[in-house]
Amino acid sequence: MADHIVKLLAKKPVTHNVNSYTVEKPAGFTYTPGQATDFSILKDRWATEKRPFTFTSLPTADTLEFTIKSYTDHDGVTNALTKVQPGDSFEISDAWGAIEYKGEGVFLAGGAGITPFLAIFRDLYSKGQVGNNRLFFSNRTTADIILKEELQQMLGDRFFNLISGENAEGYYHGRIDKVFLQKHISNFDQPFYVCGPDAFMESILKALEELGVKADALVFEK
């Protein structure tokens, strides 16, 4: 896989701990909505610290965008990203990843796991093809919901928020688990798209398997 050096063009806040990063797009660079890249900051010791980040821009855009949650409680790449400025350089690999759109279904996202789905929904919305896709988005607090207004605009009443860490009026309280899935989904013979932290992935994939979802209907980063 080839590596590409790109400059940061803009950085803007999305939530209290999430930023959007717009970077140059190398000539001829292509990706499928849902795919990711190996990414590093070309500064000091960070140049050799590669991390996977998902593209959240449309493939047809002239620039690339990443929507990245920063964990400022430890000195890692996402914390270093809070300090970058336009003009700084990053290295990215060619696109890779198993998450791609395979037809109308149910999207299950935990926290920053929404990012591959952002690219997919933006692509479908731009083509007028959002259809009957549904999104269940799990976060700890309402302040953690990434791009809530845009997701509402794209999905309307097929966008459901679950909040586990506070009792917020107008939101489902709790987590996505087997009981929740049984209650809110009647058809388990459709694609299920799953992305989130490791524990989230493990529990949801297990629940879906127990509910009879076939392995080839599960779309997730293996």
CATH number, domain of 171, equals: 3.40.50.80
Chain centroid offset of residue 96 CA: 14
pLDDT at 195: 98
Looking at the fold, whether 88 and 110 belong to one and the same domain comes out as: no
Provide the domain limits for residue 139: 106-219
Q: Which residues of the chain have pLDDT under 70?
A: none
Looking at the fold, whether 89 and 8 belong to one and the same domain comes out as: yes
Whether 99 maps to a domain, the answer reads no
pLDDT at 2: 82
pLDDT at 21: 98
Q: Which helix (H) or strand (E) holds 204?
A: helix 198-210
Whether 101 maps to a domain, the answer reads no
Say how far apart CA 119 and CA 81 lie, in whole Å. Answer: 21
Q: Give the pTM.
A: 0.96
Say how far apart CA 97 and CA 113 lie, in whole Å. Answer: 14
The DSSP call for residue 216 is G
Count how many domains the chain has: 2
Half-sphere exposure of residue 65, counting CA atoms within 13 Å on the CB side?
A: 22
Say how far apart CA 121 and CA 105 lie, in whole Å. Answer: 12
pLDDT at 1: 73
pLDDT at 155: 98
Query: In this structure, how many other beta carbons lie within 10 angstroms of the beta carbon of residue 41?
Result: 21
